[in-house]
Structure 1
Amino acid sequence: MKQYRTLLFDVDDTILDFKAAEALALRLLFEDQNIPLTDEMKRQYKTINQSLWRAFEEGKITRDEVVNTRFSALFKEYGYEADGALLEQKYRRFLEKGHQLMDGAFDLISNLQLQFDLYIVTNGVSKTQYKRLRDSGLFPFFKDIFVSEDTGCQKPMKEYFDYVFARIPQFSAEHTLIIGDSLTADVKGGQLAGLDTCWFNPDLKQNELEIMPTYEIRELEELYRILNIEHSVSC
């Protein structure tokens, strides 16, 4: 069994439940605008948002272009004129309220930090990610947090990982594992950087890409087996 010393964790839908946070933020935003939020609107937002973030991962657009245009594009679909940047500011305040944990995340992280060096690697907005991690109680368990907004580049870009590696003391790629829910950001990024990768896939999505992780897990607790450590329950 390979011995790892350093674990890099994605945040959204890996250790924090972004879907729950997003659902709350969207509901509050539409209530603020006095516009009924339908299931069809939710689906359309998801399509627009995922498309923009994918373009960001590919280096085609900036983070500001993602967050400041997604709501204006959505509202335009339904005949509403909207200031995308202003809506983003309101949405961001609502999103910061969402710090729900993924099942087993607190127990896992609080245990792993006793034996491994843990770091956060996340694409997103720095202020939002820091607040959500603090409010969740996970913040103290990580030695450092690397948010794409602060690094000037993003997963899966090799430059992002070069930035991270340069700031981890005595870093060794051979003894590092990245864990995340995104094949295109976490797994592909880890592979480009020469790391072993673990795809967290709780919904059992089909892998239709030519991106093969080192490991695939459905539950976070499966990491104990991969890391070859005993599972102790936090009190």
Structure 2
Amino acid sequence: MTYSILLFDLDDTLLDFGKKETESLTDLFQHYGYTYSDDVLQHYKSVNKQLWTDYENGSIPLDVVLNTRFSATLSRLGQDVDGLEWENRYRDLLGGGTHILIDGAMEVCQRLSVTHRLFVITNGITRTQINRLQLTGLHDYFEAIFDSQRIGHQKPSTAFFDYVRHHIPGFEREKALVIGDSLHTDIKGGLQSGIDTCWFNRTSQLNPPSIPSTYTISNLSELIGICGSGSGSGDY
């Protein structure tokens, strides 16, 4: 199959979100006079993961995730804080400073942008994601950025992917490829929308039979072969 439209997830596909998240959370807690420890991290990750899962399942709006995750985390620790104030500070920290690219991201985007049309599809926040792409130098390789905050729907919903399809001129399903690290948002979303998928499995996870991917890669450089002349299905 020859692809002409590539739909890239952003966090942990092109940008190393984990490292930036840890740095931003540490600075955030220190700013408000709290010690950021492994115990605090586990409380935050537990609260944040559940809220994002509820959001991706369509159970709660994005504002609930953003405005309550810090107040809920600190509440577990016996503290009462302004969740919105903390979120705004965190958003500034997350969107600024230095961002680390996943190995091969710059080279792959540079090369593929010459022969393909590249787009970002993300469940992240509009302002934050645009800032991060600009700061890393990736922004100009993409025709457009589709984010759940502006669309009003999130991956893996078909409504999100329908919006993307209808807002890319000349979009053809059979010539598009979804590329991402999340089976439950990127790969499931592509599967439900009839679009081929490439699972970026850089941490050697097991792929459940319920969410098959057209291709599986462990390094972004493998995309060159798939997008240039790849064919068939299964692991690449």
What TM-score do you get using the length of structure 1 for normalisation? Answer: 0.94
Secondary structure of the residue aligned to 2:115 is: coil
Return the offset for 1:209: 6.3
Letter in 2 for 1:13: D
What 5-or-longer segments of structure 2 have no aligned partner? 230-236
Partner of 2:95: 96
Return the offset for 1:18: 0.6
**Structure 1 residues 170-179 or 46-55, which shifts more?**
46-55
**Structure 1 residues 159-168 or 91-100, which shifts more?**
91-100
Letter in 1 for 2:168: I
Letter in 1 for 2:187: V
Identity among equivalent positions (%) equals 43
Secondary structure of the residue aligned to 1:7 is: strand
Secondary structure of the residue aligned to 1:114 is: helix
Return the offset for 1:152: 1.1
Q: 2:102 & 2:49 partners in 1: Cα distance?
A: 21
Q: 1:18 & 1:12 partners in 2: Cα distance?
A: 5
CA contact (8 A) 2:3 2:228 kept: no
Number of aligned residue pairs: 228
Q: 1:212 & 1:48 partners in 2: Cα distance?
A: 29
Work out whether 1:129 is the aligned partner of 2:121.
no
User: Once superposed, which parts of structure 1, at least 4 consecutive aligned residues long, lie more than 4 Å away?
Assistant: none
Letter in 1 for 2:119: Y
Partner of 1:233: none
Return the offset for 1:43: 2.0
Q: 1:225 & 1:46 partners in 2: Cα distance?
A: 36
Letter in 2 for 1:120: V
Letter in 2 for 1:219: N
Partner of 1:41: 40
Partner of 2:232: none
What 5-or-longer segments of structure 1 have no aligned partner? 230-235
Return the offset for 1:211: 0.8
Partner of 2:67: 68
- CA deviations 1:155-197 (Å, max 9, x no partner) are 1111111111111111100010000011111001101111001
Secondary structure of the residue aligned to 2:6 is: strand
Q: 1:128 & 1:184 partners in 2: Cα distance?
A: 22
Return the offset for 1:132: 0.4
Partner of 2:206: 206
Letter in 2 for 1:52: L
Return the offset for 1:46: 1.5
Work out whether 1:192 is the aligned partner of 2:188.
no
Secondary structure of the residue aligned to 1:228 is: helix
Classify 1:159/1:41 alpha carbon distance in 2 versus 1 (closer, same or farther; 3 Å): same
CA RMSD of aligned residues (A): 1.1
Secondary structure of the residue aligned to 2:106 is: helix
Q: 1:71 & 1:207 partners in 2: Cα distance?
A: 32
Secondary structure of the residue aligned to 1:179 is: strand
Work out whether 1:227 is the aligned partner of 2:227.
yes
Secondary structure of the residue aligned to 1:113 is: helix
Q: 1:133 & 1:42 partners in 2: Cα distance?
A: 26
What TM-score do you get using the length of structure 2 for normalisation? Answer: 0.94
Return the offset for 1:212: 1.0
Q: 1:205 & 1:162 partners in 2: Cα distance?
A: 28
Return the offset for 1:228: 3.5
